[in-house]
Amino acid sequence: MRATSKAYSSRAIRAHLRGRRIVAVIPEPADQQGHRKRRGTRGGRPPAFDRVDYRGRNVVERGFCEVKQWRGLATRYDKLALTYRGGVALKAIVTWLRTLEVISERGRRVCCRRQAAI
């Protein structure tokens, strides 16, 4: 499955994805809807679109934005791919630990770091 933004909704891109047997979850822009409706029966039917699958795209985009907040990862100053990959892994671990901390605070448990500050 491939979920992309409205900017990638052209017929050529949809045909390319169909040729590679990839299910496209791309909303149809308002201008394309208008053109299709204006043509009437010759306009064809609207492309398939699953709103639930498309909402999952937002979660992935927010994850990438979180990773890009680290300057070293956003600018790619590392000379070696191994160093860059290590930075990505480190950022993933830090993000995961922050998620666990938020979950534990919701469950009325206080993280060790916060207890030491009190």
pLDDT average, residue stretch 3-14: 74
Quickly count: other Cβ atoms within 10 Å of residue 66's Cβ. 14
Token pair belonging to 10: 């052209």
pLDDT band at 3 (very low <50, low <70, confident <90, very high): low
Per-residue model confidence as pLDDT tens digits over 16-47 = 888 988 888 888 888 888 878 888 887 777 77
Average pLDDT, the chain: 77
16 against 112, higher pLDDT: 16
Q: Which tokens go with 62?
A: 């927010």
At residue 117, does pLDDT exceed 50? no
Give the span between the Cα atoms of 77 and 66, in whole angstroms.
18
d(CA 47, CA 74): 35
Alpha helix ranges (H) inside 1-118: 11-19, 30-38, 51-68, 71-75, 81-106, 112-117
